[in-house]
């Protein structure tokens, strides 16, 4: 019963937080849509970002008030708000998203995901995504390009235009290279060579880097670890059943060679990207093992 009360209280406060701040966010989004000139639109963008960051900070306070979760975040001292980042992370649970908020909000530029272009038509949410400058991308399938070769390269051109605004302001772009949440069944199906991870995909990262590479200053390599015997679900977090989450952040240099090739048409560049992501994933797998062992030893001492 106590867990249900915790979850209901948390969700109620989160709903109030959202209802109070969604109005100013959408109003500012409409002003951004209607006002002329880049300067006024930029002011509106900053205002929308402030509302979103305020929502996230209040949400963090709600979690701190009602749940016992210890957020053990390492490497956060190197983060800067005036720097543009690409974030890559392993993906095990919807709890990963609150972990990103805990680590990044008010420490780095407000984080964004690349979204499918069709999501802009979602009621209210589409306007909010647009106001928050979430980049909308257009991806053509291999089959479509075979039927319409004249569209080759157009998807990247569209995405690059969508990202032009990031040349004026710092940005944090988040990517989950595994493409889906880790499960034992999916791990076995893929015959993954990693102990704790699914096979990473390099195509999405190549697309992001081709569109934004020159405007990104560093890579934030996130490793999220749940020290318990199994990965918690979101329900367990909001009902106060998650005792600890470890977020290890490694800041890495981005090699300009990562966005100077043609991923779609150059097999050698594709191999280069596969190998780069593979090395990151090998190191991440070893780091997860080390962090779990370190946490277990600390628990034994206490």
Domains observed in the chain:
69-301 (3.40.1130)
Can you give the pLDDT at residue 154? 64
Pairing assessment for the beta strands 172-175 and 111-112 based on DSSP bridges? parallel
- Enumerate long-range contacts of 261-266, CB under 8 Å, 24 or more apart: 263/202, 263/203, 263/206, 263/207, 263/210, 264/152
244 - beta bridge partners? Answer: 70
**What's the predicted TM-score (pTM) here?**
0.86
pLDDT recorded at residue 203? 83
pLDDT at 6: 95
Residue-level pLDDT at 140: 59
Tokens 């995405």 -> residue:
159
- Report CA-CA distances (Å) from 103 to 42, 72, 97, 125: 26, 9, 10, 24
Check residue 271 and report its DSSP letter: H
Q: What is the CA radius of gyration of the chain?
A: 20
**Scanning the structure block, which residue is given the tokens 């493409």?**
179
Q: What is the pLDDT of residue 142?
A: 65
What is the three-class DSSP state of 148? coil
pLDDT, block means (10 residues), the chain with 302 residues:
92 93 86 82 85 94 95 90 92 93 92 76 74 72 64 65 72 89 92 94 85 88 89 93 94 92 87 94 95 80 67
CB of 109 closer than 8 Å to CB of 169: yes
Q: What was the pLDDT predicted at 139? A: 64
Tell me, what's the pLDDT at 144?
60
Pairing between β-strand 218-225 and β-strand 244-252 as defined by DSSP bridges? antiparallel
Render 93-140 in DSSP notation, one character per residue.
STTHHHHHHHHHTTTSSPEE--EEGGGGGSTTHHHHHHHTTPPEE---
CB 217 within 8 A of CB 285: no
- The Cα–Cα gap between 99 and 101 comes to 5
């Amino acid at each position: 019963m106590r867990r249900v009360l915790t979850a209901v209280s948390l969700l109620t406060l989160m709903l109030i937080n959202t209802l109070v701040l969604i109005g100013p966010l959408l109003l500012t989004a409409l002003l951004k849509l209607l006002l002329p000139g880049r300067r006024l639109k930029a002011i509106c963008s900053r205002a929308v970002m402030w509302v979103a960051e305020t929502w996230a900070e209040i949400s963090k306070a709600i979690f701190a008030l009602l749940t016992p979760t210890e957020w053990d975040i390492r490497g956060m001292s190197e983060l800067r708000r005036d720097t543009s980042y690409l974030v890559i992370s392993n993906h095990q649970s919807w709890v990963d998203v609150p972990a990103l908020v805990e680590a990044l909000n008010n420490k780095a530029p407000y984080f964004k995901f690349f979204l499918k272009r069709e999501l802009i038509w979602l009621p209210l949410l589409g306007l909010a995504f647009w106001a928050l400058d979430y980049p909308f991308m257009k991806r053509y399938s291999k089959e479509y390009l075979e039927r319409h070769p004249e569209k080759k390269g157009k998807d990247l051109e569209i995405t690059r235009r969508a990202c032009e605004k990031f040349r004026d302001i710092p940005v944090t772009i988040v990517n989950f290279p595994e493409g889906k949440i880790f499960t034992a069944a999916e791990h076995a199906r893929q015959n993954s060579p990693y102990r704790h991870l699914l096979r990473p995909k390099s195509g999405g990262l190549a697309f992001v880097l081709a569109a934004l590479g020159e405007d990104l200053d560093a890579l934030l390599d996130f490793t999220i670890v749940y020290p318990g015997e199994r990965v918690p679900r979101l329900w367990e977090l909001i009902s106060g059943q998650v005792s600890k989450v470890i977020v290890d952040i490694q800041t890495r240099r981005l090699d300009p060679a990562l966005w100077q090739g043609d991923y779609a048409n150059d097999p050698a560049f594709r191999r280069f990207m596969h190998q780069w992501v593979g090395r990151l994933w090998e190191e991440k797998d070893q780091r997860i093992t080390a962090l779990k062992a370190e946490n277990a030893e600390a628990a034994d001492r206490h």
